[in-house]
Structure 1
Amino acid sequence: MLAEFDPVIQEHVRRITSEETLLHYLDPKIQNELIHLLASAIKSEITCGRAKDFFGIIQRIYTTFANSTKKWQILKDNITGLTLKSVSATRWESCVESVKVIRFQCADIREALLQVSDVDNDVKTSSEAKGLANNELREYEFIVAIVIWYEVLYAINLVSKHLQAKDMLIDVAIEKVQGLISFFKGYRETGFLQALEAAKGIALELDISTTFRKKREIKRKRQFDENPDDTNVATQSAEESFRINYFIPIVDQAISSLTRRFERYQHYQKNFGFLFTADSLR
C-alpha cells in the first residue's frame, strides 16, 4: 500500500479511514508536502556513504575559518562573490554553496588557509589549516571529486527548487524528476571526462600534478590450476579505478534513488486519479 512508503500519504489515509476528513483527493498542500519529501529523500540517499569523507573535508575547511572573526575576515579578503557555509544536514543549500565556492575559487581558499596557518597562534588550528592547504587541496583526486560533486549537487538543487514552488503540480514534478534521471544517465557516460577537463584547469591554478595516485598493487598467488597468462591481466589504471569505484557509484546512486521516487509518484498518480494536474486545472 502506498501509505506504507510515505508519511504524508499515511497520515492522509488515516484521516480518511477514521472519517476525520471527507476529502479523498490530494489537495495542493499535500502535493507540496509529497514533493518536498521526494526532494529530501533523494538528497539524503545520494549524500550518504562516499559523501561522508568528502563533506567531512569541506566541513573541516569551513570550521577552520568559522571559529574566529579574524580568520573569517581572512577568508572574505581572499574570495569574491561566494560564501563558504557549514555543511548542514538539514539545509541542502549549504552543501551546494560550500562545494561551489571551493569548486570555483579553490586557489583562493588554499591561499586563505595558508594565511591562517601563518597568523594563528593556536598550534592545532595552524597545523589543520596548513594540512588542508598542502594535502587535500593539492590532491588531484580531491579536485576531481569537487567537480563531480558540484555537478551532482547543482543538478539536484536546481530541480529541488522547482519542486518547492508553491504552485508546483505533481504531474509537473514527476516530469522534472524524469528529466533529472535523463540528465544523470547522460552524465554517467560523459561526465567523468568533463570532470577531468575542469579539474585540470583547477590543478593548473594550484600548480599540482594532474595524475591520479597509483594504488599499491596486491599480488595474488597463482593457483595450481591457473595458466601463467591468467594472472597477467592488465592492471587497471588509477584514473579508471577512480571512475569505476568513485564516480560511477555516486551517479548510479542518484539514478537509483530518483528512479524509485519517480516510479512511486507514478503510482500516486495512478491510484489517486483525481489529483490536481496541469490538465485538470485548465
Structure 2
Amino acid sequence: MAESDPLIKNHLQRFQNNEICYHYLSPTIQKELILLISCEIEAAIIQKVKEAKYFTVILDCTPNFSRQEQMTLIIRCVNVNSTPVKVEEYFLQYLIVSNTSGLLEELHNVLKVLDLDIDDVKGQCYDNGSNMKGRHQGVQKRLLDINPRAMYTPCGCHSLNLTLCNMENSCGKAKDFFGTVQQQVQGLITYFEKYIKTRFVEAMMNAKKLAIEMEIDPVLPEKCQRRFEEYQVYDDIFGFLFTSEQLNLMDNDKLKDCCHRLQNFLKKDELFDVDGDALLIELKLLQEHLPKEIKISIDILNYLKRMRCFPIVRRAIFK
C-alpha cells in the first residue's frame, strides 16, 4: 500500500524514524481493515442488485482444505447504472454448510441478512448434481415451492464441460481437435455467440438431419432431452423478447398471447410483476420505432435506457 499511497508511505517513515509510537499495522488491524473494505464492497453490490430489483442466484459447492463443504454465492443481475447496460455477476461470500440438504435454508437466511427478497429471485443456476437440480427433492424444486417464478437453468459451463468430456472419450478426432483449440479461441467465441442468438431449435433440427444421414436413431438420451425441455420452457415464455427479429415477426394475436403468458408466469397470488395489456401496447409501439440495426435484447435495453421510454418493456427484459 505504501508504494501507491503517499499517506501510508509517510506514516511508515514517521514510525521508522521514531516520530510516532504506533503503526496500526498489526495482523489484527489489517484483518479489521480488510473486513471494513469488504463490507463497503458488499454494500455497493447489494445497492446495485436492489436497483435492478430482480436477480439470479448461482450456487456451487466444493470442500475446502479442511474438507468442510462450502458454498459460493454469486448474484447475477442487470447493472442499470452502467453505460451501456450490462448483465453482471457478483461474488458475495462463501458459506459453510454442514450438508447439501441445508443449502436452501442457508440461502434463505443469507438473503434475509443481505436484505434481499427471495420473491425477487427470477432465476437459479446450479451444477448438474441431483441434490441441486432434482425435480422432486432438489434445491431447485424446493426454491420453486417458495417462489415459482425462479426458473432453473443448468450451469452452462458445467454442462459444456460434461459435453466436451463425453465427446473426447468417444471420438479420437475430438482429442486432436482440443489439442489445437487454443489457436481457434476467437472462432469458437463467434460460433457460440451465433448459437445463442439462433437458440437451440436450429441446432436440434441440424442434429436430427445429421443423425438420419448417419442412419442413427435421432432420439436424445433422457437427460439431454430434459435439458432441452427446460430451455424450451424458458424460450416459450421469454423468447419473444430475445431478438428484434422475433418480435417483428409476431402479429397482434400472437404478441398478445405471449404478453399474457408472461404475465401469468410472473404472477404470485394476486400480484403481477408485469401487466400483459400494458406490455402489449408498448411492444406494438416498439415494433414501429425500434431501429433496424438493434437486434438482441441487451441492445434493445440500452436503446430504451437512452430514450427513457417503454418502462414495462424494460421491466420485462430485466427478468
> By the TM > 0.5 criterion, same fold?
no
TM value normalised by structure 2? 0.27
Q: Which has the higher helix share?
A: 1
Higher strand share: 2
